[in-house]
Amino acid sequence: MKTVASPYKALQELASRDLTGCLTVHDPCVAGMAWSLYVGGQRLYYASSIAGQKERLSSLLCRLRPDLEWPSLAALDAEPAWLREWWQGKALPLGELRQLVTRLSQEALIQAVAIPKAPIDFQRNVQPNPILITPPWQDLLATVRQQVYGWQLVRGQGLSPLSRLYLDMAQVGAFCDFWEQTQDTPEYRQFWERQTLAAWIQLFGQKLCVYEFSAVVRVSPLELATRVRGLVGTGTLVSLPFQSPAPVVEAAPAQPKPVVACIDDSKAVQRQVQMTLELEGYDILGITEPARALTTLVRRRPEVILMDINMPDIDGYELCRMLRQSRQLKDVPILMLTGRDGLIDRLRAQLVGANSYLTKPFAPEQLTQAVQKLIHSPSANGISS
């Protein structure tokens, strides 16, 4: 029978009564999630999560012992037995195995006691097999108080290490604004520049849990949760329940990305084009100085050229005419990006050789559709929108 109580106080009660068994702490932040603490009086025999064991172990083992080669976790059943079998196949001292098991158990202990109140139950006379460690759980907590407080803080936003982080496409703009603001703060910039802006957006779209995410960006789960806490609080990111593991998609052999050139002196337009098309698998060649465009484009011939009309030094009409006279670039489709929407402007664009015309401001899906149409129909003539 479950009782709602403080996990920390429950551990104290078990220690005072010198009881042996498994204390299960059901995590209120994540549906179906719980932490198992195997204790014997004041001793901790083992601690782990009930769900998400593969995600948890993959993240922690690579951080705790990056020097070791870890086998697949596909056949993982019981953690202590799996670790023992792995150790038996390695020339690793027993003391190192015990140290590793202690760290794994300590991390789970932190998660359990960081919950102020939770549904708990206790099953007597249950022990892990084999018993590899017996440290006092109070001693384990004494050295990680700050981590406990840190997890208590992020839990205020409903975050746990098995929460799945998700960025909805409707919030991409808000995330980009946040990204730009971090450039003024060295501490934040150092963390967020671990990945490119496009890479962060792609990762947040995969609904990885905090454990998985932290392994990818190579930080601790607590640091990651601390950094995204504000984004979850503002609704930019969504914290989803863990449920079942996300489907694993095997990566296909890397193929060269189609190059799309964007000639525009506006940083805002360059950013929008980059964010929209990189998510669709394109490699963006940004050119902000139109006078140097011809040399750059010949050196790296793109599949499609996006071009503004109003630019300094040389306007889009003249540049388009010059590209059509270039032997190397004359057949590359050109899409005009402009705030002009008059019939005369469209006719001028067609006369100088533009293939398509998109009026600013434009929605991401409009840009994507226009580029895909030109790539799939490179010989298309005339202006379309």
Residues 71 and 180 in one domain: no
Q: pLDDT band at 141, cuts 50/70/90?
A: very high
Q: Which of 71-80, 210-219, 302-311, 350-359 has the lowest mean pLDDT?
A: 71-80
Whether the pLDDT of residue 21 is over 90: the answer is yes
Strand partners, 307: 263, 336
pLDDT in tens, 260-288: 999 988 888 888 888 888 878 888 999 98
Higher pLDDT, 229 or 130: 229
| Residue 148: inside a domain | no
> Of 53, 54, 3, whose CA–CA distance to 24 is shortest?
3
39 in the same domain as 133: yes
Whether residue 159 is contained in a domain is answered as no
Beta bridge partners of 257: none
Give yes or no: residues 139 and 58 share one domain. Answer: yes
Please tell me the predicted confidence (pLDDT) of residue 11: 94
Looking at the structure, tell me whether residues 15 and 110 fall in a common domain: yes
| Dist CA 63 CA 256 (whole Å) | 32
Measure the CA–CA gap between 268 and 272, rounded to whole angstroms: 6
Do 230 and 354 lie in one domain? The reply is: no
Residue 271 domain flag: yes
Band of pLDDT at residue 248, cut at 50, 70 and 90 = very low
CATH number, domain with residue 304? 3.40.50.2300
The pLDDT value given to residue 73: 65
Domain boundary among 78, 111, 143: 143
Q: How confident is the model at residue 244 (pLDDT cuts 50, 70, 90)?
A: low
Q: Could you tell me the pLDDT band of residue 379, with boundaries at 50, 70 and 90?
A: low
Looking at the structure, do residues 336 and 276 belong to the same domain, yes or no? yes
Residue 154 lies in a domain: no
- Amino acid letter, residue 293: A
What is the rounded distance in angstroms from the CA atom of residue 99 to the CA atom of residue 95? 6
Which pLDDT score is estimated for 154? 92
Q: What are the structure tokens assigned to 345, written together? A: 């402007």
Q: Is residue 119 predicted with pLDDT exceeding 70?
A: yes
Question: Do 14 and 138 belong to one domain?
Answer: yes
Average pLDDT of the residues of the chain: 85
Query: Which helix (H) or strand (E) covers residue 277, if one does?
Result: helix 267-278
Enumerate the β-bridge partners of residue 118: 5
**What DSSP state is assigned to residue 124?**
E
Judgement on whether residues 270 and 230 belong to the same structural domain of the protein: no
Domain of 311 in residue numbering reads as: 259-376
What the block records as the tokens of 237 is 């990111």
pTM of the model: 0.63
The total domain count for the chain is: 3
Asked if the peptide bond before residue 361 counts as cis, ω within 30 degrees of 0, the response is yes
Mean pLDDT of 322-342: 85
Residue 130 and residue 193 in one domain? no
In a domain, 197, yes or no: yes
d(CA 255, CA 61): 31
